[in-house]
A and B are shown apart, each in its own frame.
Chain A
Amino acid sequence: MKTRSTSRAVRTPGGLSVRLDLRALIVVGLLLAAACAAGVALIGTGDAKIPASDVLRTLAGNGTAYQDFIVNELRLPRVLVGLLVGASLGLGGALFQSVSRNPLGSPDVLGLSQGSTAGALVVIVLMSGSATQVTLGALIGGLATGLAVYLLAWKQGVHGYRLVLVGIGVNAVMTAVNGYLLTKADLVDAARAVVWMTGSLNGRDWDQVWPLLAMGAALVPLVLVNARGLRMTEMGDDVSNALGVRVQRVRLVLVVSAVLLTAAATAAAGPVGFVALTAPQLARRLTRSPGPNLVPSLCMGAVLLVAADWASQRVFGADQLPVGVVTGVLGGGYLLWLLVAERRAGRI
């Protein structure tokens, strides 16, 4: 992929300067607009259809009581969860792919989603727990798996290929655990488990919005502060060390952030497949900028998830098809294309 730098420096007389990539800024702007548009369309979609103009008026607080209930109580939280989950997955995926220097190094492939699923299945199958407990179980499962992958891949620091290979191994183990747990389940629990495992935004409310929002508010600034160091590590450990980057510290902070983001997103919506894998790659192709493209990936993740949810509702009717199926089909196709392209380029 070829890129030309379009970055410009903005300087103040006081000696402060910020480097901005114009093309990336435009891409981020367009993606944000697309995310909002998809969100409004998604709010208007369902058994009770509401035109976009009415949705906007109701969001501003000027709708009828009926519209207010549908929009602000029922559908807005679902859309917000979708945006936040997509953004978290997009950012988490971009971080993992940059740290592993491999487009396959995304949380889906590294076993994090399977780890979250295992946590959720333990609660559903063995404890018949409540929805909140399932969320908690998924969170713990994701974090524990992330920790396990990181520790197993550690050998005087974490490096790309080892992270991917260890992750694939952990993924296989967790898939086996999940298969075993499902065979132990009775029919009702198994049906509940399968719905959770597909990844869905159905019935999400404000209780899921706040934890995701808090997590994002804490982690996004932390990630962005370390983003410059991450860009440097793409030149190899020695070069970036020589340039004064504390490589392993930057990597630890960012991997932990990525694990938290991914685990929180998966706990809220189930393992929605392939968003973390595809969002950074698509963002990169739009910005045509080398480097991790963190903010564009975040926006792209939000757009992808909400657009996929909207598409599944438009085509198959409200709540008929969980969003994870759509992202799985689209993302799986994309993954195949990526593998073929990488193979043609002689990289795998």
Chain B
Amino acid sequence: MSGANPNTPRSTVNRLSAENVTLAYDQRIIAEQLSVEIPDNSFTVIVGPNACGKSTLLRSLSRMLKPSRGRVLLDGQVIQSMPAKKVARTLGLLPQSAVAPDGITVADLVGRGRYPHQGLLRQWSAEDERVVQESMHRTGVAELAERYVDELSGGQRQRVWIAMALAQQTPLLLLDEPTTYLDIQHQIDVLDLCAELHETQGRTLVAVLHDLNHAARYATHLIALRGGRVVAEGAPNDIVTAELVEEVFGLRCQVIDDPETGTPLIVPAARKARTRTEAAAS
């Protein structure tokens, strides 16, 4: 079940990968000897139970966390050895801890995504202006351009942050739990937006998601982590089974076809059914 995605032959070199990385905060080791490849042009979703190391993996892929062993490669180079702005033109990250400065407008915040394309004597080109407008249109926040970020709803704010990351114009975009703290309709809204960006712009997206059903529906490539180790990876249709969910999350369930999309849909086992089988077993 584990191993490479059959859709991505090993002969092609993917742009972003982690090779045998050991990830640790101070002395606390989160993952050891972890290897992950992000298939180019995929919408990769990393899932796993709390504290399985999924956000940590995302942080190392975006060079926020330096692996204590092993290396993260971007376009064949060790990511830490590359100039910061060059990485920022290739790989964008939307972290969970984004704070909008006091009294900043939407247009201003989205404009800050242009930083890696700017310099001391190239502070705001016509291209910057165009990309910012386009990013705001694409994420549906153009009409909010002159509003203050702190006046917006959670869903709108998340769209603004995604617009900022889009304005960075990176072929790779990493999102750390982009749907956390959002109502269900805004969660779907944000995920639809991600899927659209992936399909229409050919960007490679990597997201950490909590909701396994969202992951199975939207991902083209799924990486299931448990205890800092890859349990399975591949297309959701190929890998999501009741056994996998039990192995990764310790949850008994049925996997049925999503009536909307045909992707796997996880239905957790009911309490009663569980007690009945337990009774039968004893």
Known: A4-B105, A228-B115, A232-B115. A242 touches B121 (CB 8 A): no
The answer to whether A238 and B98 have CB atoms under 8 Å apart is yes
Q: Is B177 an interface residue (CB 8 A)?
A: no
Name the A residues within 8 Å of B148 (CB-CB): 2
- A4–B148 CA distance with the chains assembled, in angstroms: 9
Known: A17-B122, A244-B88. A290 touches B104 (CB 8 A): yes
Partner of B112, one of A1, A3, A232: A232
- A21–B84 CA distance with the chains assembled, in angstroms: 27
Across the two chains, which residue of chain B brings its CB closest to A3? B103
Known: A1-B102, A290-B104. A242 touches B93 (CB 8 A): yes
Name the A residues within 8 Å of B64 (CB-CB): 238, 241-242
- A3–B100 CA distance with the chains assembled, in angstroms: 14
The answer to whether A244 and B85 have CB atoms under 8 Å apart is yes
Instruction: Work out how many contacts link A and B, with CB atoms closer than 8 A.
Output: 102
Known: A9-B129, A245-B115. A18 touches B102 (CB 8 A): no
- A17–B62 CA distance with the chains assembled, in angstroms: 30
Across the two chains, which residue of chain A brings its CB closest to B117? A244
- A248–B121 CA distance with the chains assembled, in angstroms: 23
Q: Is B264 an interface residue (CB 8 A)?
A: no
Q: Tell me the minimal C-beta distance from A293 to chain B in angstroms.
A: 12
Across the two chains, which residue of chain B brings its CB closest to A232? B115
Chain A 114-132 interface residues, beta-carbon cutoff 8 Å to B: none
Known: A244-B116, A290-B103, A290-B108. A239 touches B95 (CB 8 A): yes
Known: A4-B146, A9-B129, A242-B62. A290 touches B101 (CB 8 A): yes
Partner of B98, one of A17, A225, A235, A291: A235
Across the two chains, which residue of chain B brings its CB closest to A243? B115
Q: Is B107 an interface residue (CB 8 A)?
A: yes
Name the B residues within 8 Å of A246 (CB-CB): 84
User: Quick one: CB contact mask for A217-254 with B, threshold 8 Å, 1 for yes?
Assistant: 00000000100100110111111011111100000000
Chain A 1-15 interface residues, beta-carbon cutoff 8 Å to B: 1-5, 7, 9, 11, 15
Q: Is B126 an interface residue (CB 8 A)?
A: yes
Q: Tell me the minimal C-beta distance from A9 to chain B in angstroms.
A: 4
The answer to whether B88 and A242 have CB atoms under 8 Å apart is yes
Q: Tell me the minimal C-beta distance from B31 to chain A in angstroms.
A: 19
Name the B residues within 8 Å of A19 (CB-CB): 123-124
Interface centre among A9, A17, A19, A245 (most CB of B within 10 A): A17
Name the A residues within 8 Å of B168 (CB-CB): 243
Q: Is B279 an interface residue (CB 8 A)?
A: no
Name the A residues within 8 Å of B105 (CB-CB): 3-5
Name the B residues within 8 Å of A234 (CB-CB): 99, 101
The answer to whether B125 and A242 have CB atoms under 8 Å apart is no
Q: Is B97 an interface residue (CB 8 A)?
A: yes
Partner of A9, one of B95, B116, B121, B124: B124
Q: Is A16 an interface residue (CB 8 A)?
A: yes
The answer to whether B92 and A15 have CB atoms under 8 Å apart is no
Q: Tell me the minimal C-beta distance from A237 to chain B in angstroms.
A: 8
Name the B residues within 8 Å of A235 (CB-CB): 98-101, 109, 112
Partner of A5, one of B108, B115, B120: B108
The answer to whether B115 and A244 have CB atoms under 8 Å apart is yes
Q: Tell me the minimal C-beta distance from B151 to chain A in angstroms.
A: 9
Q: Is B87 an interface residue (CB 8 A)?
A: yes
Q: Tell me the minimal C-beta distance from B224 to chain A in angstroms.
A: 25
- A158–B112 CA distance with the chains assembled, in angstroms: 23
Name the B residues within 8 Å of A3 (CB-CB): 103-105
- A32–B87 CA distance with the chains assembled, in angstroms: 41
Across the two chains, which residue of chain A brings its CB closest to B122? A17
The answer to whether A9 and B88 have CB atoms under 8 Å apart is no
The answer to whether B95 and A236 have CB atoms under 8 Å apart is yes
Q: Tell me the minimal C-beta distance from A286 to chain B in angstroms.
A: 14
Interface centre among A19, A234, A243, A288 (most CB of B within 10 A): A243
Chain B 67-108 interface residues, beta-carbon cutoff 8 Å to A: 84-89, 92-95, 97-105, 107-108
Q: Is B113 an interface residue (CB 8 A)?
A: yes
Q: Tell me the minimal C-beta distance from A250 to chain B in angstroms.
A: 11
Q: Tell me the minimal C-beta distance from B276 to chain A in angstroms.
A: 47
Across the two chains, which residue of chain B brings its CB closest to A225? B120
Q: Tell me the minimal C-beta distance from B94 to chain A in angstroms.
A: 8
A-B pairs with beta carbons under 8 Å apart, 7 shown: A11-B126, A17-B124, A17-B125, A18-B121, A239-B93, A290-B103, A290-B108
Query: Which residues of A does B touch, CB under 8 Å?
Result: 1-5, 7, 9, 11, 15-19, 225, 228, 231-232, 234-239, 241-246, 288, 290-291
